[in-house]
Amino acid sequence: MKDTKEVVILHLYPEELNMYGDRGNILTLVQRLKWRGYQPIIRTAGVDDQVDIAKADIIFGGGGQDRGQLAVGKDLQRHAAALRNAAAGGVPMLVICGTYQLFGHGFTTLEGTVIPGISIFQANTIGSSRRMIGNAIIESSMGRLVGFENHSGRTLLKPGQPSLGTVSQGFGNDGSSGNEGAVTNQVYGTYLHGPVLPKNPVLADHLIALALERKFGIQDLEPLDDELEKAAAAQAASRPQ
Ligand code: GLN
């Protein structure tokens, strides 16, 4: 009999886009699902792989070098329609840095190479000669989020595109607007590495709650003991930029 507690997590381009332990986000989702009695299934989407995006309950993509983005840019276009459909259907997604940039209209590298994106976010990213690196703190509708950013791309949100939050320490999208990240439907884009989910359980649980409600109609997420996670967040937030 089919196990009805399966939750499918789709990891986009784990080989090419994985920086500063971004894969830890997958481990966090997996563990928090298991603690609540669910059975997470990890699927990966690599270049040229056949992938059924419609079967994913949560979708994740990490950050990477410009090189990694160049390697996946063309392949990502194969999935553009399916990913946009999933976004429109309320599938929760978390995309970090390099994947975040490609979920906008595209990324133009410092050398002028244009890597087209899939336009889930109304945003453009342009490479700059300034590296925006350090510990970052943002205020979001979910509360304070902490992480580590390292990017030279400046992401400019178009008017009407909501951000994930505002920067209280660090650079955020572009180092000057005060915006960090973007949110469209249940798709969350951010520059926060670290990885971001282990020390921001509120964001991890938000994604999980959305997935469980969408798949099983479950309204209330069983709380977990987050003392260690909160201590990690407090420690990260106390560090200088
Ligand atoms: N190459 C991109 C930039 O520097 C993405 C970096 C990243 O994913 N950390 O803007």
pLDDT at 20: 84
Q: How would you class 238 by CB atoms within 10 Å of its CB: exposed for 0-12, middle for 13-18, buried for 19 or more? A: exposed
Q: Which atom of ligand 1 is nearest to the CA of 100?
A: 8
- What does the alpha-carbon distance between residue 35 and residue 37 come to, in Å, rounded to a whole number? 6
Q: What is the CA(175)–ligand 1 centre distance, in A?
A: 14
The answer to whether the beta carbons of residues 111 and 78 sit under 8 Å apart is no
The pLDDT assigned to 164 comes to: 98
Mutation to probe ligand 1, out of 152, 180, 190, 193 (largest number of atoms < 8 A from CB): 152
Instruction: Identify the bridge partners of residue 190 per DSSP, sorted by sequence position.
Output: 96
What Cα–Cα distance (Å) separates residue 94 from each residue in 40, 182, 205, 210?
16, 10, 12, 12
Active site residue 11: no
What pLDDT score does 89 carry? 98
Best residue among 69, 94, 110, 113 to mutate for probing ligand 1's pocket (most ligand atoms within 8 Å of CB) is 69
Both structure tokens of 5: 């507690």
Contact 91, 110 (CB under 8 A): no
Show the low-confidence residues of the chain (pLDDT under 50): 1
For ligand 1, the distance from its centroid to the CA atom of residue 153, given in whole angstroms, is 6
Quick one: pLDDT at residue 4?
A: 77
Tens digit of pLDDT for each residue in 66-107? 999 999 999 999 999 999 999 999 999 999 999 999 999 999
| CA of 150, closest atom in ligand 1 | 9
Q: Which tokens in the block code for residue 213?
A: 């409600």
Q: What's the CA angle centered on 44, arms 122 and 14, to 5 degrees? A: 70
